[in-house]
Copies of this chain bind each other. A is one copy, B any other.
Amino acid sequence: MVKNTYMRWRLPLVCLLWEVAMIVLFGVFVRFDPEADAHWKEEQLQKNLTSDIENDFYFRYPSFQDVHVMIFVGFGFLMTFLQRYGFGAVGFNFLLAAFGIQWALLMQGWFHSFENGKILIGVENLINADFCVGSVCIAFGAILGKTSPVQLLILTLFQVTLFAVNEYILVSLLHVKDAGGSMTIHTFGAYFGLTVTRILYRPNLEQSKDKQGSVYHSDLFAMIGTLYLWMYWPSFNSAVSNHGDAQHRAAINTYCSLASCVLTTVAFSSLLQKKGKLDMVHIQNATLAGGVAVGTGAEMMLTPYGSLIVGFLCGIVSTVGFVYLMPFLESKLHIQDTCGIHNLHAMPGFIGGIVGAVTAAAATEEVYGKEGLISAFDFTGDYKDRTPSVQGGFQAAGIFVSLAMALAGGAIVGAILKMPFLGDPADENCFEDDVYWEVPEDEESGLYHVHDPTLKPVTS
């Protein structure tokens, strides 16, 4: 069966209609947070309130920019490792994230920043929108190279919606702490993506086997993504934590966990190969597992050595996952996971949820101080009588809620994506930019970087 991958009407239609919808919804609902509104000046002057530097912008903007880089360059370039799918990796990631952040501002806004019929947005909303889209970028990793841009936009629409619902359940109903998103972003995003790719299983994907590998320079492009994710992860995990010590602590814990994770990844990458050589796939991915796994616990008193332990274990789990589990998932469970998100996000995210639950349950006034404990877990208002051990229980519940939402949501969305008119590529054209992109001639005419017309492939 020949697949129709012609995008000329479908893609523009979806992009334009949805963007118009965004404009209308923003027009009706979205306004500036008081700290970004011009009235702020007046309030300051009248009430002699605060210095400009107390504006939340200065607490969070540097972290926001780091997170922004992670979403667009980090995820985008991490996925350029495929030899013939660099445009799709970085370009489709750009597209879905640009749409996703708008829809996330609305969805998260309705749940968390809705006042008098308006969503009031400030820098923290921008970070949370980026976070939400991060979970879509993760899911994209599982189906990379096998879907059309229209499918990706539909995926984004639904996944952002479900993300916001799940986040609301966790953060608002269960009063769970998850500032770095081990549960809301990684566990949810990864299991969602894995379910979708399971539904979209392609039995004959080996027809494009030759394009599933990397080339030398595509691996270097991917390392740009890896390093930006790795370097800025301390910003990711601390970006929406409480001002002051919590942000400070979250950055330190994440820094430690990631450092430790690199060493066990290298160790196991070498150990699990007969020739003892390092595998770029592991270095590009498993080194990041330590950041995922302290997403919940980093802002707590996890301590630097606790973080090292978490990173240590996750480097191992993730690398072993790439070597042993991934082939098993593909052959037995029919889960074709292009980027190995099960190893980088699913397992470490799940571990991160548990680490957070245990750390919360173990919290004491001795370690946090009386006010520190209240502040760290926001034991105020309706929750002023909650104890750390109860909090630990709710944290654990949050993992399974995220998992359930991911599996159920992924199944439904996967089914929607199977609709035949969405333009997905044929099996033999997967992992191939040429399907959706104008590709420069050097690549189209035989894949080599040779521009001299007098040089030809020849038999001697």
Contact = CB atoms under 8 A, between A and B. Distances in A.
Q: Chain B CB within 10 Å — which of A39, A51, A244 has the most? A: A244
B438 A277 contact: yes
B57 A54 contact: no
Interface stretch (A72-80, A200-208, A404-412): A72-80
Contacts of A39: 245, 368-369, 372
Interface stretch (A159-167, A330-338, A452-460): A452-460
A312 B23 contact: yes
A9 B274 CA distance: 11
A322 B13 CA distance: 20
A4 to B, nearest CB: 11
Contact of A267 (B15, B215, B268): B15
A255 to B, nearest CB: 6
Interface centre among A243, A301, A455 (most CB of B within 10 A): A455
A371 interface: yes
Contact of A264 (B19, B87, B247, B276): B19
A143 B3 CA distance: 43
B375 A267 contact: no
Contact of A252 (B36, B260, B369, B376): B36
Contacts of A266: 11-12, 15, 95, 149
Interface string A33-58: 10111111111111000011111111
A370 to B, nearest CB: 6
Contacts of A244: 35, 40-41, 44, 52, 55, 57
Contacts of A246: 38
A247 B303 contact: no
Interface in A253-307: 255-256, 258-260, 262-264, 266-268, 270-271, 273-280, 283, 287, 301, 303-305
21 contacts: A6-B276, A15-B264, A15-B266, A35-B248, A37-B245, A41-B372, A41-B376, A42-B370, A65-B231, A72-B227, A72-B231, A98-B260, A102-B308, A122-B252, A123-B248, A126-B251, A215-B451, A217-B217, A273-B438, A277-B437, A447-B451
Q: Which 3 A-B pairs have the closest CB atoms?
A: A8-B276, A38-B372, A42-B369
